[in-house]
């Protein structure tokens, strides 16, 4: 499971009249903000995307049968109307995936952020 941006303050309408949202930083749209474009849709920001995400992971060496059982159970739970209502209330946009898709996604994220760290010369002291 991946989630767009689970933090309420990033994508729910602001009660403060002086605060105006201009863009979202994810590729997926939010039903709560149908008229807010992605930052990547603006000239000069092509490819710009930041997502927060969550995943259910298991220890290395967990048998494939166990992984597949957990994945099937999680994907079945994601179809629950009650859980969907909870996500909608929180402004989260959940995405389901297979274990292989999640693994590929994590590898892509590692590559992307390693490139960012290298390009701005971030060092651990």
- Can you give the pLDDT at residue 108? 92
pTM for the model stands at 0.67
Q: Which pLDDT tens digit goes with each residue over 37-64?
A: 777 777 777 777 777 888 999 999 999 9
Average confidence (pLDDT) over 70-82 = 93
pLDDT(11) > 70: no
Can you tell me whether residue 101 is helix, strand or coil? helix
Q: 81 to each of 39, 45, 55, 86, how far by Cα in Å?
A: 31, 36, 20, 9
Burial 32-67 (b: 16+ CB within 10 A, else e): eeeeeebbbeeeeeeeeeebebeeeeeeeeeeeeeb
- Can you give the pLDDT at residue 7? 39
End-to-end CA distance of the chain: 34
Top-confidence residue, 102 or 53: 102
């Amino acid at each position: 499971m991946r989630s767009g941006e689970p933090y309420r303050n990033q994508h729910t309408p602001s009660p403060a009249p002086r605060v105006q949202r201009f863009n979202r930083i994810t590729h997926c749209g939010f039903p709560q903000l149908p008229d807010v474009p992605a930052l990547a849709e603006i000239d000069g920001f092509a490819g710009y995307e930041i997502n927060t995400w969550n995943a259910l992971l298991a220890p290395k060496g967990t048998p494939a049968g166990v992984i597949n059982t957990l994945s099937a159970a999680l994907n079945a739970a994601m179809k629950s109307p009650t859980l969907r209502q909870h996500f909608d209330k929180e402004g989260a946009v959940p995405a389901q995936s297979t274990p292989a898709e999640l693994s590929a996604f994590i590898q892509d994220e590692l590559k992307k952020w390693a490139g960012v760290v290298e390009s701005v010369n971030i060092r651990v002291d």
